[in-house]
Amino acid sequence: MKKMACLLTMLITVQSLMAQNNTTNDARMKWWREARFGMFIHWGVYAVPAGTYKGFPMARGGGEWIMNRSKIPVAEYQAYAKQFNPVKYNAEDWVKMAKDAGMKYIVITAKHHDGFALFNSKASKWDITDATPYGKDLLTPLVAACKKHGIKLGFYYSQAQDWNNPGGSVARKEMREGWPNPDSAKVDAYTKANNGHFDPAQMTQTFDQYIDNVAVPQVKELLTNYGEVAVLWWDTPTNMTDDAATKLQAQLKLQPNIITNDRLKRPNFQGDYKTPEQKIPNLSELDGRDWETCMTMNGTWGYKSYDHNWKSVSTMVRNLVDIASKGGNYLLNVGPTAEGEFPAESIQSLKGIGEWMKVNGEAIYGTKGNPLKPVQWGRITRKQNTLYLAVFEWPANGKLEVPGLKNKVKSISVLGTKNTLKSNTSGDVLTIDLSGKPLNDIATVIKVQVDGNL
């Protein structure tokens, strides 16, 4: 009897701790779940070659992978830093463009796989202040601008892969994916024999030493020197160990409210949310966890001078609506130039997205996924007793059908106007009269308020 009582007490204690943890997690995640839309920024020394090495454009991969794809020796790649002088960088302008586009947070590559730090690091000289003519911390003004404009700021950090600081891991990519080097077979053989490393300079210390001497100290710097950090965005746990991940995760205590993704070390370090890349999950792929889709505006993360395969504003807005309708966040990337400017096409796209969001942001922020059946004509989000119907395909007969709605309708209106719409209900199908033309060719949003929560 005593044993059963003890087991019951333990069970109650565990349930209580789980409930407490869920409550704490919900409190930390509240702003993120309401934001729905953020800006990713991939920026670093790789913006100097801009996707081209020795006259040959990269065959595949983002511009930020050029060192690995083309197997550029460490000393040669570090010479690019002498040309990285972003004198046109204006953090205030960047943040205002993000805010005007309707974005609520920014995540920037504080250090990508090439190991270059955009901040003044005491753990490595391979950083903006020591290796470039610019010589100033790039994160400090961004922190100030985000604080001024009410934008949350997060840092991307490549915790395992580092192609310049010795000991960092290197994902194995074949030379022939980069440029037509006559020694590609020789380099590939060396890479294969040395766990992805393609330059002896990368191997003058062990991975454990790299974690202790570079990664852990730099994460500590990021979480100590820049005030409140909203997100730590880990990436590619290549050759990562549980021991190394534990050391890195221990630094999070410096920022009790920080949110992290699922890329520190799978499967034992799940973080707060999942990160599908360049795709929007199907409903069948969702498992109840928070998630965020990251996507490029064109075909690259880091700047490539010749990548002009830009997505349309319509595509990006509809991606945002689709993601919100499934309860996720959209992290949309910009790859600035080596001079510190957003590409002109990115600026125009941000303006176009902002124009739509200014009218229809209510259908995105603070919403949850569609509680009804999927529809062919668009996407649906919800907020308490309100449905937002984002109509992509305007019905030719002027009748918009919404199946599965059992609540009594109180009012129907069009966002951005004072117009109210007529409707009728048959069974559990609401039919809305949409005579006339759509207000917006990308997506016209119909607001439906009902009795009772959905």
Backbone φ/ψ region at 71: left (φ over 0), alpha (ψ -120 to 50), beta: left
Same domain, yes or no, for 23 and 40? no
Same domain, yes or no, for 182 and 53? yes
Does 298 reside within a domain? yes
What angle do helix axes 344-360 and 91-100 make, rounded to 10 degrees? 40
Task: Calculate ∠ Cα 65-71-76, nearest 5°.
Answer: 95
**pLDDT number for residue 185:** 80
**Following DSSP, what letter does each residue of 163-226 receive, concatenated?**
SSSTT-B-----GGGT---TTHHHHHHHHHHTTT--SGGGGSS-HHHHIIIIIHHHHHHHHHSS
Same domain, yes or no, for 289 and 390? no
Same domain, yes or no, for 21 and 42? no
Query: Is-above-0.85 flag for pTM?
Result: yes
Compute mean pLDDT per 10 residues along the chain, 454 residues long, and list them.
45 37 79 98 98 89 94 97 98 98 99 98 98 98 98 98 98 67 81 94 98 98 98 97 98 98 96 98 96 98 97 98 98 98 98 98 98 96 97 96 94 94 93 92 97 85
Write out the two tokens for 424.
């009728």
Q: In the Cβ-directed half-sphere of 364, how many Cα atoms lie within 13 Å?
A: 27
Does 169 reside within a domain? yes
Write out the two tokens for 285.
């792929």
Report in angstroms the alpha-carbon separations of 64 from 218, 304, 339: 20, 9, 16
Does 359 reside within a domain? yes
Which CATH number characterizes residue 349's domain? 3.20.20.80
Helices (H) and strands (E) in the chain, counts: 12, 16
Which CATH number characterizes residue 446's domain? 2.60.40.1180
Same domain, yes or no, for 135 and 202? yes
Same domain, yes or no, for 346 and 394? no
Q: Is the peptide bond before 374 cis (omega within 30 degrees of 0)?
A: no
Same domain, yes or no, for 443 and 332? no
Which residues share a beta bridge with 430? 402, 425
Does 371 reside within a domain? no
Which among 311, 328, 363 is the end of a domain?
363
Same domain, yes or no, for 427 and 343? no
Tell me if residue 254 falls in helix, strand or coil: helix
Does 369 reside within a domain? no
Listed in sequence order, the residues at least 6 apart from 272 whose beta carbon sits closer than 8 Å to its beta carbon are 25, 28, 29, 32, 259, 260, 261, 290
Does 333 reside within a domain? yes
Q: In the Cβ-directed half-sphere of 336, how many Cα atoms lie within 13 Å?
A: 26
DSSP code at position 261: B
Listed in sequence order, the residues at least 6 apart from 344 whose beta carbon sits closer than 8 Å to its beta carbon are none
The 10 Å CB-count burial string (b at 16+, else e) for 364-401 is: bbebebbebeebebbbbbbbeebbbbbbbebeeeeebe
Range of the domain at 8: 1-27
Residue in 249, 255, 287 with CA at minimum distance from that of residue 271: 249
Number of domains within the chain: 3
d(CA 167, CA 240): 12
Q: Which strand (E) or helix (H) includes residue 341?
A: none
DSSP strand pairing (444-450 vs 386-391): antiparallel
Tell me if residue 424 falls in helix, strand or coil: strand
Same domain, yes or no, for 245 and 357? yes
Q: What is the largest CA-CA distance in the chain?
A: 79
**pLDDT number for residue 283:** 94
Q: Which residue's structure tokens are 């410096």?
A: 254
Same domain, yes or no, for 335 and 395? no
Write out the two tokens for 208.
């454990």
Same domain, yes or no, for 53 and 177? yes
d(CA 217, CA 251): 9
Report in angstroms the alpha-carbon separations of 138 from 121, 150, 422: 12, 19, 54
